[in-house]
């Protein structure tokens, strides 16, 4: 039971966040455009909440594309490299992701804390806190680094077995 729940989360967590964020953004924008042009009214938060939701959409999308190995890739060059060089490039990718991820997480947690500590609210609202949206960055980057770790473990296993390495992105399949 627990294994199936974690398996489902592993396969779908980014998709759920992306779908919810994109659906919320689209719905708010659609409804508020109709209200503005037909009824001459508009919620004061209708231009700030979709922008804040975009943080969740983009960072979870980055994690998803890292999982699928379709984010920041140089496949044309790598496919022509020898097997050992391909593996070395994959390990170098992981090291760069870990370094960059540590920097992003460190500074984004600081931003979340500053926003939380100052009780910063989203413009146009009375009680929607900015830090709720800023949490997207450290959470998604933590998930991204987990995806990098999964990819590295898969690469090591493939390399040791002499199997072909995944240098080409497979965006539509699992």
Rounded CA separation 25/51 (Å): 8
Sequence-separated contacts (24+) of 123-128 with Cβ below 8 Å: 123/44, 123/45, 123/48, 124/43, 124/44, 124/45, 124/46, 124/47, 124/48, 124/49, 125/44, 125/45, 125/48, 125/49, 128/45, 128/49
Q: Work out the pLDDT band at 101, boundaries 50, 70, 90.
A: very high
Q: Which of 16-25, 62-71, 110-119, 126-135 has the lowest mean pLDDT?
A: 62-71
Q: Work out the pLDDT band at 69, boundaries 50, 70, 90.
A: confident
Q: Residue 79 has what pLDDT?
A: 83
Q: Work out the pLDDT band at 168, boundaries 50, 70, 90.
A: low
Q: Residue 167 has what pLDDT?
A: 67
Instruction: Look at residue 62 and tell me whether its pLDDT is greater than 90.
Output: yes
What is the sign, positive or negative, of the torsion defined by CA atoms of 36, 42, 47, 50?
negative
Q: Work out the pLDDT band at 172, boundaries 50, 70, 90.
A: low
Mapped to the 3 state alphabet, what secondary structure does the chain carry? CHHHHHHHHHHHHHHHHHHHHHHHHHHHHHHHHHHHHHHCCCCCCCCCHHHHHHHHHHHHHHHHHHHCCCCCCCHHHHCCCCHHHHHHHHHHHHHHHHHHHHHHHHHHHHHHHHHHHCCCECCCCCCCEHHHHHCHHHHHHHHHHHHHHHHHHHHHHHHHHCCCCCCCCCCCCC
- pLDDT digits over 102-160, tens only? 999 999 999 999 999 999 999 999 999 999 999 999 999 999 999 999 999 999 999 99
């Amino acid at each position: 039971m627990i294994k199936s729940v974690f398996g489902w989360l592993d396969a779908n967590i980014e998709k759920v966040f992306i779908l919810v964020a994109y659906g919320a953004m689209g719905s708010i924008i659609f409804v508020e455009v109709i209200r503005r042009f037909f009824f001459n009214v508009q919620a004061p938060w209708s231009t700030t909440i979709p922008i804040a939701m975009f943080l969740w959409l983009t960072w979870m999308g980055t994690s998803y594309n890292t999982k699928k190995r379709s984010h920041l890739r140089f496949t044309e060059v790598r496919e022509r490299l020898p097997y050992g060089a391909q593996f070395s490039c994959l390990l170098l990718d992981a090291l760069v992701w870990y370094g960059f991820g540590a920097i992003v997480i460190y500074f984004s947690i600081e931003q979340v804390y500053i926003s939380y500590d100052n009780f910063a609210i989203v413009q146009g609202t009375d009680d929607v806190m900015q830090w709720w949206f800023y949490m997207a960055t450290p959470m998604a980057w933590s998930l991204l680094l987990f995806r990098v770790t999964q990819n590295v473990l898969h690469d090591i296993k493939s390399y040791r077995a002499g199997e072909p390495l995944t240098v080409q992105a497979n965006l539509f399949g699992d």
